Structure 1
Amino acid sequence: MNQITTALTIAGTDPTGGAGIQADLKTFQEREVYGMSVVTSIVAQNTLGVDAIYNLPVSFIEKQLHAVFNDIEPDAVKTGMIATIEMMEMLADFLKDKSVDYVIDPVMVAKSGHALMEEPSRKVIRDMLVPLATVVTPNIPEAEILVDFKIDNIDDAKRAAKVIVNELGAKAAVVKGGHLSGEAIDVLYDKQDFHYYKSARTETKHTHGTGCTFSAVITAELAKGKSIAKAVTIGKKFITDAIQYSLGVGKGNGPTNHWGYRLKGLPNQVKGREE
């Protein structure tokens, strides 16, 4: 019997399923990896925005982690929403001795603009968790917080990726270029080379959970033993299809389509159920 590949997501929830734990588990399933989850925060949110956040006690988050690792140790781990300094301290202490690939999606602000992380925590994440990371996947606003300078172009993105790796201590960083004008180019720096990932822009408001999904694909592929560059290449293709083949659900910024890659050659819209 073949060994089952496993991945763990440590993040907050999205009851409408487009982001957070729910998006990560859908993505793991699509990438044929057995997904597991540890919940950090329960978030009352939908495609219109965030209504309320309840952060679980740190001791209970730690119990969830022990429950997973004591039974089914994952091949790779990702973190999304880690809302407080206390959570970060516990996670850093827990993960520092674990020999698993670790992907950080530094979730700080929701697509709607609502803050998901306390202000002091934004500064602490770079010192406690980033040095443990195999890959960090910030968008432009998140990268600006991590490196403390403005990113206006690709050269700035390259500089930011180098700072995250060479100064903050991650093995690799992908600075996502969706917030820049012009072509959407993501920049990967892996301490040796730069890699560039271009994609045509899709005119859609349905991009809720893109960061969660992209980082979850990278996590799944690292769990399978793929190189960082190959994992990011697969992640970029997956999220491009997920955005292109929109589901069109929700009254606000709707979710990406986790089975979009299966819809090649079909109209860029998923039909409703047949009567």
Structure 2
Amino acid sequence: MNHTPIALTIAGSDSGGGAGIQADLKAFSALGAYGCSVITALTAQNTQGVQGIFDVTPEFIAAQLDSVFSDIAVKAVKIGMLSQASVIRAVADNLEKYGVELLVVDPVMVATSGDKLLQDDAIKTLKECLIPKATVITPNLPEAAVLLNRDVPQTIAEMESMVEPLLELGSRSVLIKGGHLSSDESVDLFHDGNTLHRLTSKRIPTENTHGTGCTLSSAITALLARGVELNEAVRKGKDYIASAIAHADELDIGKGHGPVHHFHALWKPLGE
């Protein structure tokens, strides 16, 4: 039989369409996976910021998970921001219940402003209940700093010093995103559990980078759902987000920081 690759995102909704659930589903589709979603929060959001957040109850999140897993053969799962310890536990319990094997955890914990988005008890629960189940975690530098209770790294050497401690939290592998560093290149560090790899791409001069972290983690998830081996999924996911950023200025979305171009390889001008 032809088994359709199916990926599930468990995250918040972005009404502006650039990040969260919307970005995840776009990346799934662009990379050939069928996308399902479990919404953990609603946001009133656009390219200029977040105007409001409405959290979904743990009970209804669990109901969504039951609906999806009881009927649909999900191959890989991506997790974005889970705002409360009770929500994290509900998600972790259901992942255990349904035997999820391929899990990408994007530990969204720090706002662009630098403010922590999660309370200390939620961070503790994330580290204890979800990260040990992960195939790969994908923190950026501020998120890695929160997970390890350290200062935000300023150099690649300081990034490298975080790799082993992050692995000790229990995930199978770690991808630290170096986009916050100031350099001509964007350097990510990926440790597959055995070997450390440096993944480098040219830094693209654009203001339209809303949803980059969501998009990268969901790209990896889509590729894992398609049966791509982990190391290759991470490398191809990095290539995809680099191209989506490079084509971001082809879009004209909003008055602030616009989204990356998820469908840069598929959209053609009218008439072509």
- Name the TM-score, length of structure 2 as normaliser: 0.92
Preserved CA contact (<8 Å) 1:162 1:191:
no
- What is residue 8 of structure 2 aligned with on the other side? 8
Give me the whole-angstrom Cα distance separating, in 2, the residues matched to 1:15 and 1:111: 18
Give me the whole-angstrom Cα distance separating, in 1, the residues matched to 2:74 and 2:202: 34
1:127 correspondence with 2:128: yes
The CA deviation at 1:127 is: 1.8
Code of the residue aligned with 1:176 in structure 2: it is K
Give me the whole-angstrom Cα distance separating, in 1, the residues matched to 2:166 and 2:114: 24
Which residue, out of 153, 156, 162, partners 1:154?
156
Code of the residue aligned with 1:230 in structure 2: it is E
Deviates more, 1:26-35 or 1:92-101: 92-101
Give me the whole-angstrom Cα distance separating, in 1, the residues matched to 2:254 and 2:101: 36
The CA deviation at 1:44 is: 0.9
Give me the whole-angstrom Cα distance separating, in 2, the residues matched to 1:45 and 1:95: 29
1:207 correspondence with 2:213: no
Preserved CA contact (<8 Å) 2:140 2:176:
yes
Say which SS state the counterpart of residue 14 (structure 2) adopts.
coil
Give me the whole-angstrom Cα distance separating, in 1, the residues matched to 2:114 and 2:52: 14
Deviations 1:24-75 (A, max 9, x none): 1111111111100000001111111111111111100000000000000310
Say which SS state the counterpart of residue 13 (structure 1) adopts.
strand
Deviates more, 1:173-182 or 1:108-117: 108-117
1:242 correspondence with 2:244: yes
- The change in CA–CA distance for 1:164 and 1:115 in structure 2 (over 3 A counts) is closer
Give me the whole-angstrom Cα distance separating, in 2, the residues matched to 1:234 and 1:261: 14
- The change in CA–CA distance for 1:118 and 1:261 in structure 2 (over 3 A counts) is farther
The CA deviation at 1:100 is: 2.4
The CA deviation at 1:86 is: 0.3
Deviates more, 1:119-128 or 1:8-17: 119-128
Deviates more, 1:231-240 or 1:176-185: 176-185
- What is residue 20 of structure 2 aligned with on the other side? 20
Give me the whole-angstrom Cα distance separating, in 2, the residues matched to 1:223 and 1:95: 16
Give me the whole-angstrom Cα distance separating, in 2, the residues matched to 1:200 and 1:192: 26
Say which SS state the counterpart of residue 96 (structure 1) adopts.
helix
Preserved CA contact (<8 Å) 2:77 2:100:
no
- What is residue 90 of structure 1 aligned with on the other side? 90
Code of the residue aligned with 1:258 in structure 2: it is H
The CA deviation at 1:156 is: 2.0
After superposition, residues 157-176 of structure 1 pair within 5 angstroms as 157-165=159-167, 167-176=168-177
Preserved CA contact (<8 Å) 1:238 1:261:
no
Deviates more, 1:174-183 or 1:146-155: 146-155
Give me the whole-angstrom Cα distance separating, in 1, the residues matched to 2:259 and 2:113: 12
The CA deviation at 1:162 is: 1.7
Give me the whole-angstrom Cα distance separating, in 1, the residues matched to 2:101 and 2:133: 10
- What is residue 44 of structure 1 aligned with on the other side? 44
Say which SS state the counterpart of residue 160 (structure 1) adopts.
helix
Deviates more, 1:167-176 or 1:124-133: 124-133
Preserved CA contact (<8 Å) 2:191 2:197:
yes
Give me the whole-angstrom Cα distance separating, in 1, the residues matched to 2:212 and 2:141: 14
RMSD across aligned C-alpha pairs, in angstroms?
1.9
The CA deviation at 1:205 is: 1.0
- The change in CA–CA distance for 1:111 and 1:207 in structure 2 (over 3 A counts) is farther
Larger RCO (CA within 8 A; separation ≥ 6): 2
Say which SS state the counterpart of residue 45 (structure 1) adopts.
strand
- What is residue 267 of structure 1 aligned with on the other side? none
Structure 1 gap segments, 5+ residues each: 264-269
Code of the residue aligned with 2:93 in structure 1: it is D
Give me the whole-angstrom Cα distance separating, in 1, the residues matched to 2:242 and 2:96: 33
Say which SS state the counterpart of residue 104 (structure 2) adopts.
strand
Which residue, out of 239, 259, 266, partners 2:263?
259
Preserved CA contact (<8 Å) 2:88 2:129:
yes
Give me the whole-angstrom Cα distance separating, in 1, the residues matched to 2:42 and 2:63: 16
Structure 2 gap segments, 5+ residues each: none
Give me the whole-angstrom Cα distance separating, in 1, the residues matched to 2:18 and 2:117: 16
Say which SS state the counterpart of residue 51 (structure 1) adopts.
strand
Deviates more, 1:197-206 or 1:58-67: 197-206
- What is residue 144 of structure 1 aligned with on the other side? 145
Preserved CA contact (<8 Å) 2:76 2:100:
no
Aligned residues: 266
